[in-house]
Amino acid sequence: MKLKPLADRVITKMLEAEETTKGGIILTSAAKEKPEIAEVIAVGPGGMVDGKEVVMTVKPGDKVVTSKYSGTQVKVDGEEYTIVRQSDILAVVE
């Protein structure tokens, strides 16, 4: 990967929206809900951020829920990623 997050930043990639419902109905692209779960791709080193020590608690491969309108979207090699602060991550999906 060509992106390396700094400080308390985390690079995520949104997971694909469901293609079918639980009942087996195939959804068109317009009917699909925006995915809410992202996969962590890379994690910054943490350290001192705004005068406070930040310890990174997520790791690459974790599935997380982030604030809906948080982060910055970037496109690298045709792939779309979102860069968020660790504090914008609401939960880790287990």
What's the CATH number where 32 sits? 2.30.33.40
- What's the pTM value of the predicted model, to 2 decimals? 0.79
User: Whose CA is closest to 83, among 3, 16, 23, 26?
Assistant: 3
Q: Is residue 34 part of a domain?
A: yes
Task: Domain of residue 37: give its range.
Answer: 9-93
Place of tokens 């994690």: 43
Overall number of domains in the chain: 1
User: Whose CA is closest to 78, among 6, 4, 13, 10?
Assistant: 13
Two tokens at 90?
């609401």
Q: What are phi and psi of 65, to 5 degrees?
A: -110, 130
At residue 57 the predicted structure's pLDDT band, cuts being 50, 70 and 90, is: very high
Q: What is the pLDDT of residues 15-41, one digit of tens each?
A: 875 555 567 766 555 544 555 789 999
